[in-house]
Structure 1
Amino acid sequence: MVVSQKKHTKKKKELAQSEEKITELAKIAWAKTLKEFYYPPLNEPNFVFDYTQKEGFYIDPDHKWQITMNLANTPLFRDDNEYIDYFHSISLHEVSHYQIIPYDGIINAKLLKAAMKRVNQNFAPIVVNVFGDLVIDFKLFKKYPDLMLWEAKKTYEFIMSSNKNQLSRFTKFLFRAYEKMWDVEISPDNSLNEMDTLVNKVINVILKDFEDETKWEEKVSKVAYHLRGLINDTFTLIGPGVRCDKGKTKRKAPGKGGSIEFPEDILELMDNPLENKNSDKLKRDNEDELRQKAEEFAKETPYSEFGAPAGQAGILIDGNPLATWYRGLAKNLIEIRIFEEKLGGGQVPICPEVWKIGDPIEELDVVQSLLNSPVIIPNITTRKWVFKEGPGHLEEKQIPDLLIVLDSSGSMGWNYTANTNKGRGEYHTALVASFAALHFAVTKGVKFSVINFSNRADICQWTNDYQKAEGTLLRYQGGGTVLPTKALIAQCDKAEKKVLIFIITDFGIYNWGGAKKNMNNLANNGHNIVGFFIGASTIPKNRFKDMLDKVTFYPIKNIKDLINLVIEEVKKYYL
């Protein structure tokens, strides 16, 4: 018993020494890799020996801001240089994901969106990872052909020996793709040739206009189309608690709930095919940058295609994807500086005129008089300058509080999942305008309030928290149209300074007659009121004749004109 314990202790010590040695070699290879990439902003990996995992690289939730490099499944080599070469090769590949493709969160989201046109959202990362792996390794092979081929052969031999010379069709596809793209032999026999038809279709897409990165999204969509059959046959969505078949493993699905089962040998070749890798996931304190990227992605993406890719790419960090989407659509529609012109502080000469007896003698300009005539004759040839007040200067003006009064009645249709602005309805356009005005106020540090009205007034009190205001704007009611004048007056009374009021409606308001007096009173108290009436070709002047000199009304014959009109009014009042 004692002898057995000693042997166990000795083996454990030898294993620890071996792991320590391998770790040092991996660090040498990693440093060499960073040097060749000109030292990108990547931390040294967290080196581990996790014999329960097949992946070589992954992001561990316990070490979120750095890559974890698992050395447990490293093939055995004869000397240290082979270990360094092996780690160098796989490190080159790993770093390329963060420096070449997908690089950052927005590129990752765009590629996922392209893949989702052909496969479901849970399988989209598989397509993006396959595409990224093949692009990266083709680039690396052109630069390091001997190293890449040697590592591919060693990996092939290792996977074959670990899996009793049996490979899944997906792994066969990947190895055969490398053989075709590199024009080399990795397998000593023709066992990979069964994948030729599919491989040829995929690599033809990838290699055409290879250096043109603007075609990545189009290519990913085509690759997804070709791979969808193989992916559906290889990967299976399973529920919680389901045990995997022999030779298979499972990883958390990138969508909501469940896991995905697939052959274990895939992990040994490409790590977790469901993991989305990009440099934004390794940065600390970058919430503002992620929000900006999510908003940029929203500008060119229908809402039905927005949430899943943005979420998987890690750029959707706010709780409400719909608010983020509208924020993106409205972004940069308004860019305003607030000035007030002040009178100048001095006199500027404009032109000469006759100096007459009785004018102050100091106003007589002798030079101008002599230039006019060599003989000075008072009242005739004498001259003086006419002056006027010098030009004024612009002084930054205090921004008024912003009150958005938004009609969400049933006549203001809303279908944000439609693919066209017309199909999204009047309320969609009004929301984009409201979000644009709201976020201009945010950038200027102004307070804002929202009244969303239909049968009732849904009020966001004065705040600097734009997410509260966004939530109120997005609560569509779909009832009748009653302007809540009491709530409007109450919000103006609560404001700390004069208010700019936007009323956005479709002119179907039931109680305009009773609202006129209250609106006149608000205008007389120094508040600026602008009404935008959707669907009206003219404003009935007789009906509003006692208001038109104090309140600005705009008929909106074409719903598309609303956004520009709102922007012009913001500029008008704020400039």
Structure 2
Amino acid sequence: MSFRTAELAQRWQQQWPEALRAWGRFTRVHPPLLCASTGRARREGLHGSFAMFRLSDRTVVLDLTAAVELGLAEHGVEVMAHEVGHHVLCPADLADSARLLARVRRGLPGLERHAAVVANLYADLLINDRLQRSRGLDMAGVYQRMRGPKGDNPLWAFYMRTYELLWALPRGTLTDGVDEDTDADASLAARVARVYAHDWLAGAGGFAMLCYRYLAELAERDVTRLLARTCEPGVHAGDDVPGLSADDDGPLVHPLHDPSVNDFAPEQDGEPEEAEGQAPAGGQHREPFEYGQILRQLGFDLSDEDISARYYRERAAPHLVPFPVRPRPAPSEPLPEGLEPWDVGEPLEQVDWLASTLRSPLVVPGLTTVQRHFGVTESGGGDPEPVDLDIYVDSSGSMPNPRKQVSYLTLAGAVLALSALRVGARVQATLWSGTRQVLVTDGFVRDETAVLRVLTGFFGGATAFPLPTLRDTYARPRRTTHIVVISDDGVDTMFQHADEQGRPGSDIAAAALAAAGGGGTLLLNLWSEHRLAALEAMAPGWDVHRVTDWAQLVDFAAAFSRRTYDRSRA
């Protein structure tokens, strides 16, 4: 640590309480992490910026070397108060940060890759305006220090002009001049910041739409340089972002057509319409690919397998059975059942002196002494052993890829498997498509991640039920198990084909059903009642359940789980 950074670290540490007070007397955040070198800051997760608020552990991380190079040594209170604002005001936590990103992405159709930049700019705008106007901090001075040569960056010029309008600064204080269109956009952005200051998520999409045309003019290199001027949250792979799979965003409207922002905009009748060229509002849930993109833009370094497992675990959660609760038995009193002789050598305190005296006024130990005999109340039986689950999910070419779009086969499988695991059962999951296209867990396991990795895989090949897997699973006796097959009419390969040894599939299926002992279910999306009747004839002893829409699989899986595994219904 150089003398200059050491002195700066001491000074900023002393200014930390003042930075906290900018957000109220009762604001409490971990002390800042003052990194003497850029290398140390990078090891703490700070890349491309001189400061960040790490949402995962609520810590301000500062690169003192970069702060000195930018000329911000005299603005410690402003810099640290700004970072605390990411915790107090926007986005506050990972869940809100994810919702902000999702909203901004909807305002940038085709340019969603830049959503993190715009989300940071928007959050900074709200925080800086609050600190400059309401707390009296010199945020304008910070941006004057950071001004430097910007090159031809229209987005930065639009953004700086917005600050000039918000803070009534003379034109040219933060910009080198802008054209009339940019000035009009900046005026709308300033109004968005004020109108939606206390409902910032509602204004995020409109701000993104204002940024759209400037981003379209920029090269990737210029956008990256702009990101280096902003702050970003730090995350760890183990952090959770609850509720991200739900798409609860309302429709977007351009600020020019928003009566709350533009006094001359016509009033909207009913729900506002999407702006021209804007992607329509999503359904009730995001697709898995969008879910993954948002996680990665938040900073998560996750594989496709991990992202898919998170997505389907969250989607399945509302349909799972409750965790089993073992009631504590009420304490029971000893039950007296009569008298029996007390003999010398037994504990003296067991003598019932009253009963002994009533029996004979002359008490002779071992002859007239008696003791009370107490019975034992029989306890209830133990918890029943849950039925294991052996699940086979079709992954042929007619099925969706669960990592790209919602697969209700995968979701139904997740509901069944996670419910079984929740009550202590073991699960074997098998994903199948064509011959030798089979993915299976390592037998019956209690590891939900291993199960979800299988269920979220994809082959997209031909259709051939994995008869060898079914045969080998029940070649030896095992615990009571229920077999579930999720497919469409391609399930007929389970009964009409033969294994590599020439054994008919119908024989293998019948033997497996008998050995499992817990029954078997064929959950099938079938186009006609005629096809249902044909499969029922092929599969005697199996419970063949027909759905006509893939989404109905989830309803059946939830109902089946409640019947089979919900102990609270017993």
Q: TM-score, normalised by structure 1?
A: 0.66
Other structure's SS at 2:212 match? helix
What letter matches 1:231 in structure 2? L
From 488, 491, 495, give the equivalent of 1:512.
Answer: 495
Q: Which amino acid aligns with 2:299?
A: G
Q: Are the structure 2 counterparts of residues 66 and 181 from structure 1 closer, same or farther at C-alpha, using a change threshold of 3 Å? A: closer
Which amino acid letter does the alignment assign opposite residue 506 of structure 1? D
Q: Given the superposition, is the C-alpha separation of residues 483 and 415 from structure 1 closer, same or farther in structure 2, using an over 3 Å criterion?
A: closer
Confirm or deny that 1:72 pairs with 2:68: yes
Query: Which position in structure 2 is the counterpart of 1:222?
Result: 206
Cα distance in structure 1, aligned partners of 2:461 and 2:48: 57
- Counterpart of 2:258? none
Q: Aligned match of 1:433 in 412, 424, 429?
A: 412
Instruction: State the match for 2:33 in structure 1.
Output: 45
Letter in 2 for 1:441: A
Q: Distance in 2 between matches of 1:18 and 1:530?
A: 72
* d(CA) in 2 for partners of 1:316, 1:171: 29
Secondary structure class of the residue paired with 2:554: helix
The one-letter code of the counterpart of 1:272 is R
Aligned length: 453
Partner residue, 1:20? 6
Alignment correspondent of 1:107: 96
CA distance in 2, matches of 1:571, 1:522: 24
Distance 1:314 1:447, change over 3 A: farther
- Secondary structure of the equivalent of 1:101? coil
- Report the Cα offset of residue 555 of structure 1: 2.1
1:499 and 2:481 equivalent? yes
The match for 1:174 among 159, 180, 192 is 159
From the superposition, tell whether residues 28 and 406 of structure 1 become closer, same or farther in structure 2 (CA, over 3 Å): same
Instruction: Assess if the C-alpha contact under 8 Å between 1:153 and 1:186 holds in 2.
Output: no
Q: Is the 8 A contact 1:295 1:327 kept in 2?
A: no
In the TM superposition, residue 552 of structure 1 has moved relative to its aligned partner by 2.2
Q: Tell me, in whole angstroms, the C-alpha distance in 1 between the residues paired with 2:563 and 2:422.
A: 18
Q: 1:534 aligns with which of 500, 525, 538?
A: 525
Identity of aligned residues (%): 14
Structure 2 CA distance for aligned equivalents of residues 295 and 454 of structure 1: 27
Contact 1:339/1:574 (8 A) holds in 2: no
Q: Is the 8 A contact 1:46 1:69 kept in 2?
A: yes
| CA RMSD after TM alignment | 4.3
User: Aligned-pair distance for 1:564?
Assistant: 0.9
Change (3 A) 1:446 1:534: same
**Offset, 1:565:** 1.0
Instruction: Give the whole-Å Cα distance in 2 for the aligned partners of 1:431 and 1:499.
Output: 20
Q: CA deviation at 1:309?
A: 1.9
- Give the aligned partner of residue 569 of structure 1: 560
Q: How does 1:198-347 map to 2 (within 5 A)?
A: 198-215=185-202, 219-233=203-217, 235-238=218-221, 262=225, 272-273=229-230, 277-278=232-233, 281=235, 287-290=237-240, 292=242, 300-315=285-300, 317-320=302-305, 321-336=307-322
Cα offsets for 1:52-106 (capped at 9, x unmatched):
999542589xx997612324136489xxxxx4xx211221111112332222233
Distance in 2, Cα, partners of 1:562 & 1:20 = 63
CA spacing shift, 1:340–1:190, aligned 2, 3 Å: closer
Deviation at 1:212, TM superposition (A): 1.8
Q: What per-residue deviation string (whole Å, max 9, x for no partner) do you get for residues 376-398 of structure 1?
A: xxxxxxxxxxxxxxxx9795332
Q: Secondary structure at the match of 1:397?
A: coil
Q: Which amino acid aligns with 1:206?
A: A
Contact (CA 8 Å) 1:54, 1:73: kept in 2 or not? no
Alpha carbons of 1:45 and 1:416: their partners in 2 closer, same or farther (altered >3 Å)? same
Q: Which amino acid aligns with 1:553?
A: V
| Distance across 1 between alignment mates of 2:114 and 2:533 | 57
The whole-number CA distance in structure 1 between the counterparts of 2:48 and 2:292 is 31
3-state SS, counterpart of residue 302 of structure 2: coil
Instruction: Report what 1:560 is aligned to.
Output: 551
* Structure 2 contact 402–457 (Cα < 8 Å) conserved: no
Query: Offset of 1:471 from its aligned partner?
Result: 3.5
Question: SS of 2:63's equivalent?
Answer: strand
Task: Give the Cα separation in 2 of the matches to 1:495 and 1:451.
Answer: 19
For 1:50 and 1:175, locate their aligned partners in 2 and report how far apart those are by CA, in whole Å: 27
User: Shift of the alpha carbon at 1:545?
Assistant: 9.6
Is the contact made by 1:499 and 1:527 (CA closer than 8 Å) also made in structure 2?
yes
Name the SS for the 2:240 alignment partner: helix
Residue 134 of structure 1, CA deviation: 1.1
Cα gap change, 1:128/1:339 in structure 2, threshold over 3 Å: closer, same or farther?
closer
List alignment gaps of at least 5 residues for structure 2: 42-46, 249-283, 333-378, 497-503
Question: Is contact 1:198-1:226 (8 Å) kept?
Answer: yes
In structure 2, the CA distance between the partners of 1:437 and 1:316, relative to structure 1 (3 Å rule), is: farther
Counterparts of 2:70 and 2:483, CA distance in 1: 67
Counterpart Cα distance in 2 of 1:470 and 1:232? 39
Deviation at 1:49, TM superposition (A): 6.0
Q: Which of 136, 143, 152 is matched with 2:134 structurally? A: 143
Q: Where does structure 1 lack aligned partners over 5 or more consecutive residues?
A: 1-14, 78-82, 239-249, 251-259, 347-391
Letter in 2 for 1:67: V
